[in-house]
Amino acid sequence: MARQHGRAGRLYMAIASGGNASPVPFISQFSIDLDTPQVDVTSFEDNNAVSVSGLPNAKGSFAGFFDNATKQMATAAVDGTARKFYWYPDKAVNTIYYFGTANWSTSQSWGVTAAAAISGNWSAAADCAWVGIP
């Protein structure tokens, strides 16, 4: 895979639980955090600290611009229902994407000298995985 610019990404999310995912408009940033917790299992006879890996997290964040034509992100944040999502790093390459079911939170902000914005976080509600990454 070649290096790429982030400008071609696209986030899809179901508006309702069990619904079909549709594009989330005006998202300008999306992140995936797959950090894996390390559990200390060091014992008296060890010559150095020893750890084992736990399960990787599947969580992240998003940011973009407020859209008064859809309540997609706000509804997902307040109804407590997990939703399917798909993240395409390059929407023209539909064979590489990250998907799963997640819980969503969102913040909205407005300022006199700024565009109305949204931001928030997501965390896995079920298994999440990459498709097409070797």
- The model's pLDDT over 46-96, given as tens digits with 9 standing for 90+, comes to 999 999 999 999 999 999 999 888 777 888 888 889 999 999 999 998 899
Domain membership flag for residue 19: yes
Contact 73, 120 (CB under 8 A): yes
In a domain, 120, yes or no: yes
The total domain count for the chain is 1
> Which tokens is 39 given?
């559990």
**pTM (2 d.p.):** 0.86
- Domain span holding position 124: 7-34+50-131
The CATH number that applies at residue 29 is 2.30.110.20
- Residue 40, in any domain of the structure: no
User: Is 99 domain-assigned?
Assistant: yes
> Which residues fall within 8 angstroms of residue 44, CB to CB, at 6 or more apart?
none
- The confidence score (pLDDT) of residue 75 equals 84
